[in-house]
Structures are given as C-alpha cells and as structure tokens.
Amino acid sequence: MVVELNSTNLLVQAANRANTAAQPENSPVQMQTSEANPVKDTFEYADKHLSKRNKISIAAGLIGVCAAIYGLAVHGINRISPKKLQRMLNDIYMRDDITVDEAKNIAKHFKELGKIKDKEEYADKAFEYVKKLFGLGDKPIEFKAVKTDKKSIGGCHIDNSEINIKYDNKTTNKELLALIHHELRHAKQHWLSFNQYPEYAREMMIKPTFKDHISEDSEIAKYVDGLIDKGITSVNELLKHVSEKFGYMIDERINKYFGKLSPDNVPEKYKEFAQKCMENEKNYIKMEENDKAYRQQFVEADAYNIQKQILKIMDWY
C-alpha cells in the first residue's frame, strides 16, 4: 500500500497539537498558522508565548516529524517489499523457484539465527543453511570459522573443498552472514564454470588433487622421479604426464565436490556468467598483488555485490 504524506500538513498538525497542549483552557490567545511557512509561524508563536522548556519540546517534535518524513521518502514505508525480497533472493542464490512466502520465511530464519550469541555456533548453523539455499547442500564443503585479531576475511578453495571465515570481536552476526554468502557465491561460481567447461575443471583440479598424494614414497612421487630421470623437468609437462596416468584421482575429486559435470547442468541464462567466471579464474588477481584490481575483477565484484545485498536485506526487511 502506498501512503502519500504532505509534509506541510503534518507540520501544521504537530504545531497545533503542541499549541493546544501548551495553552490554558479558554485561553483567548489563538495561534495563527500559515500554510506558506508553518515551521516559521510555530517558532514565532513559541518565542512570544511559551516557556523555554515548551519551546524545546516543540522544536524536538518538529525535528522528529521532519526526520520521519525524510526517512519515508528515502526508504519507503515497507523498505523492501515481499515481492522485491523474492526477486533479490532468487538472484542471490541463482534460482527461480523461491516463492514470496518462502522468501519471507528465509528472511525470518535469518533473524532467528541472528539471536545466537556464540559466534562460532552462529557461523556453523548459518553456513549449513545458506549452503542449502545455494543448491550445494549435498556437497562436503569443509567450513572453518576462526576468531582473529585482524579484520574479518574469508576464502574459498577453487576445488570447493574448504571455505574459511576469520572474524574479530567487532564482527556482528549479520556481517558474518554476509561473509558466508560472499564465499558460498564463489563456490557457486566454481560449480557453474566447472560444469560449463569440464576440461577446464580437470585442469584446475590437478594441483589440489595431487598435493594430497605427494610423499617421498608415494606412487606419484616415484613416477615423477622416473620422468625427471628421462629429462622431463618442466612443471607443466610433469603435471600433464601425472594427470594422464593418475587422472582417475582427479575424476574422483571432481565427483566428490561437484558431482557429474555437464554443461546441461547450467541454466541457459547463467552460461555467459559461467564463461566470465572461468575466464576470470584463469587470470585471478590476489588481494596482496593489487587490492583495487582484486575487488574489481568479475568474480570478486559479483561476490561483494551479494554481500551488500544480504546486508541490505538484514537492515531493511
């Protein structure tokens, strides 16, 4: 429902109420108001007829009315309508099946979770809930929330094996929720780009796969030693040979964290998005290399936008 407010009428009404309360009964003094400048008329009357205490009360009341009018004009009465909330959540989780009622229930659940005092408990429960909303509920992503003396920050491994969040004493629950959304948005980016480009997925999974299997007496280490003895010393060449011989390990890891990859898993409207993610991930800029460029690159700009949207929902719905 849209309510139109006339600031002049509200000010006049406020001034009249203040005048009536301040005057003795049957007072012969009648306040004259002017629609042209009700604020000026009110203060002129107050200056002539009211005590200092009553003047302050009227001034405070008028300031409050003006602030309320400004707030309504800027943010709207409902701030975020249920319909807008539905659109926002479908965009955030890259879905189209969230109904208005479900959207309201999601926001309500966020508010309920926010009552949890223990930060680690809150982070764990929020993570599991949001992971399901992103359609990643069945994926074994390891989550770690650690308290730190430094600023809050997060990270998501390219193979979606782990997401970690670091928070400090000043981090609020809603800020933790926004950070969790930021990192799970990255996990969704990986899921989309890997499904759209399975060969790219295999390429990106080589290092995280084999780093877990390297030891001096492992089968892989012995194979690599043999390749070096044959004069193959290029890292890329070594990785190529290892991935060809032990490719089944890569397939096992992909299946564990992503399931069976196929471009058919990517909705048509997100195929271009998946392509941009893939192109950015291949040339990813780390924060320590260039903070500005890091934040402006496609995958980070997207995740930071989601972070802001969640904060907006928590503040304005």
Return the pLDDT at 212. 67
Return the pLDDT at 46. 53
Does this model's pTM top 0.85?
no
pLDDT greater than 60 at residue 12: no
Counting every residue written for the chain, the total comes to 317
Return the pLDDT at 37. 58
Q: Using an 8 Å Cβ cutoff, are 195 and 261 in contact?
A: yes
Assign residue 162 a region: left if phi > 0, alpha if psi is -120 to 50, beta otherwise? beta
Chain segment 157-168, per-residue pLDDT in tens: 888 889 999 888
pLDDT greater than 60 at residue 68: no
Q: Using an 8 Å Cβ cutoff, are 47 and 62 in contact?
A: no
Give the mean pLDDT of the chain.
81
pLDDT cut 70: percent of the chain above it: 74
pLDDT cut 90: percent of the chain above it: 49
Token pair 């009700």 is found at 38
Tokens of 186: 């990255």
Tokens of 204: 């990106």
Domain positions in the chain = 7-75, 80-317
Out of 6-15, 76-85, 134-143, 268-277, pick the least confident: 6-15
State the pairing for strand pair 142-147/162-167.
Answer: parallel
Range with the largest mean pLDDT of 3-12, 16-25, 246-255, 280-289: 280-289
Average confidence (pLDDT) over 137-148: 90
